[in-house]
């Protein structure tokens, strides 16, 4: 897009790059903040329905849809408190550390083909790495608050997130192995076509590993039943006990941002990303399956597709939160070490064997044609990789890496 500004409008390069970077940052910020507004309202309504009550009904007319905005104004008007013994600097910056981690992960997250802040060759890895930094803000908050509740909450969170990164990483590697690339755009494009092309339906192992991923993602964003860090029945409010006003709301923007992020990542890795279950545009002849030439309207529809899938993921997280009781810390660790990690490892080996023995899938040829059309483009887009690898095909090398290194 910056090239477009430079070549067509003739802006100087430094101004174009600044403008595009600012625009991307602005859009991502709005996805997080707007998402938080909508999701907090949705959470209230869903919680109310599950508990057989109405939730907000009056603010903003029907359905209480302005409730989040009213909450925001209330938060702005509150007093900014800080405990006497707090470490002032760390107490102040902790919420921003959390929020920045959540925000940075969005930079590499594609919303549709090439609708991405910065397309990274190692997109998946970057997102998972940056998401792990969010816990640092929580630890700082717990430490700097000079409160026992906060400290306990932060320590639980640290233990939990550090442990769950292991099975989460294993789950994320599976789609990377199937797509032969760590580039999120490539992974999404490999699942184009009918819903049977989605990696979740690739084989039985990926179907199971999707649920393991979802469980680990739930734990890594600190949502119930893994919300031990805030555990209001034991720790008052956990790591954010001492926080009020906007600082407190930054933690929640980070939390809702991360919820959306891991759901969008699940959608891209397993649920076809921005590709709908039926390739409507291809059937109607609007596009020939080559995403590069697709009109911008289709990319917008792709964004819509991804938003629907990610929102569904977030809503399921809320459903789980208001349905399941909170786990104890030993149960959390048991779930991670005795269930998620071994299941992920076995499924990983299973996917590997499946790729070796049934590379075309059970229904090869019947449903996979739509993706086959795009293969040509993908190979082309990976041509840099191909050139450096001589005669090898695009997908095999990465797959082989994973197989041998495990």
Least distance to another protein from the beta carbon of 388, Å? 5
Strand partners, 112: 115
Among 13, 295, 359, 376, binds another protein (CB under 8 A): 13
| Number of residues counted as binding another protein (CB under 8 A) | 51
Considering the complex, state which of residue 7 and residue 389 has its C-beta at the smaller distance from another protein: 389
Could you give the 3-state DSSP secondary structure of residue 149?
helix
87 binds another protein (CB under 8 A): yes
Question: Rule CB under 8 A: is residue 390 a binding residue for another protein?
Answer: yes
Q: Which of 63, 136, 207, 211 binds another protein (CB under 8 A)?
A: 136
Name which position in 11, 133, 236, 352 contacts another protein (CB under 8 A). 133
Distance CA 13, CA 11 (A): 6
Pick the closer one to another protein by CB: 196 or 398: 398
List the x/- string, 337-376, binding to another protein by CB under 8 A: ----------------------------------------
In 3D space, the residue among 16, 23, 20, 39 whose CA is nearest the CA of residue 256 turns out to be 39
Interaction of residue 129 with another protein, rule CB under 8 A: yes
182: contact with another protein by CB under 8 A: yes
CB of 341 to another protein, least distance (A): 13
48 φψ region: left (φ > 0), alpha (ψ -120 to 50), beta (else): alpha
Rg (CA), the chain: 22
**Any idea which residue has 């569904």 for tokens?**
312
Instruction: Tell me: does residue 177 bind another protein (CB under 8 A).
Output: no
Q: Is 112 helix (H, G, I), strand (E, B) or coil?
A: strand
CA distance 309 to 210: 14
Q: How far is the CB of 23 from another protein (least distance, A)?
A: 15
State yes or no: residue 89 binds another protein (CB under 8 A).
yes
Q: Measure Cα distances from 257 to 252, 297, 310 in Å.
A: 8, 26, 11
Handedness of CA 77, 49, 222, 330 (dihedral sign): positive
Q: What is the DSSP string of 201-213?
A: GTSHHHHHHHHHH
Contacting positions for another protein (CB under 8 A): 12-14, 17-18, 85, 87, 89-90, 93, 120-122, 125-126, 128-130, 132-133, 135-136, 139-140, 142-144, 146, 151, 154-155, 158-159, 161-162, 165, 181-182, 384-385, 387-390, 392, 397-398, 400-401, 404-405
């Amino acid at each position: 897009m910056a090239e477009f500004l430079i070549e067509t409008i003739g802006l100087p390069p430094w101004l174009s790059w600044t403008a595009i970077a600012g625009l991307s940052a602005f859009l991502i910020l709005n996805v997080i903040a707007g998402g938080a507004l909508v999701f907090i309202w949705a959470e209230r309504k869903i919680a109310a329905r599950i508990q057989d009550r109405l939730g907000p009904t009056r603010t903003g007319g029907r359905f209480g849809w302005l409730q989040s905005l009213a909450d925001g104004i209330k938060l702005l008007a509150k007093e900014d408190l800080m405990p006497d013994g707090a470490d002032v600097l760390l107490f102040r910056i902790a919420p921003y550390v959390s929020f920045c981690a959540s925000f940075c992960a969005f930079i590499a997250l594609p919303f549709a083909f090439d609708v991405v802040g910065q397309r990274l060759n190692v997109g998946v890895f970057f997102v998972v790495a940056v998401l792990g930094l969010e816990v640092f803000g929580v630890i700082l908050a717990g430490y700097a608050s000079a409160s026992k509740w906060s400290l306990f909450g932060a320590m639980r969170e640290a233990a939990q997130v550090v442990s769950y990164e292991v099975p989460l990483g294993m789950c994320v590697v599976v789609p990377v192995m199937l797509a032969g690339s760590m580039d999120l755009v490539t992974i999404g494009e490999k699942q184009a076509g009918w819903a049977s092309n989605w990696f979740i339906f690739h084989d039985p192992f990926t179907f199971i590993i999707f649920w393991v991923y979802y469980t680990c993602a739930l734990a890594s964003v600190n949502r119930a039943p893994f919300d031990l860090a805030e555990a209001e029945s034991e720790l008052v409010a956990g790591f954010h006990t001492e926080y009020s006003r906007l600082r407190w709301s930054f933690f929640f923007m980070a939390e809702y941002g991360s919820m959306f992020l891991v759901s969008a990542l699940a959608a891209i890795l397993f649920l076809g990303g921005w590709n709908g279950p039926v390739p409507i545009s291809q059937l109607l002849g609007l596009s020939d399956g080559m995403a590069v030439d697709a009109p911008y309207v289709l990319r917008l529809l792709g964004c819509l597709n991804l938003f629907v899938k990610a929102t569904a993921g977030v809503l399921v997280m809320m459903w789980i939160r208001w349905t399941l009781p909170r786990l104890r810390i030993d149960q959390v660790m048991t779930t991670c070490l005795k269930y998620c990690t071994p299941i992920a490892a076995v499924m990983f080996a299973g996917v590997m064997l499946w790729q070796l023995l049934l590379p075309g899938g059970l229904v090869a040829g019947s449903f996979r044609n739509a993706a086959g059309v795009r293969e040509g483009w993908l190979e082309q887009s990976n041509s840099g990789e191909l050139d450096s690898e001589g005669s090898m095909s695009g997908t095999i090398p990465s797959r082989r890496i994973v197989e041998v290194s495990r």
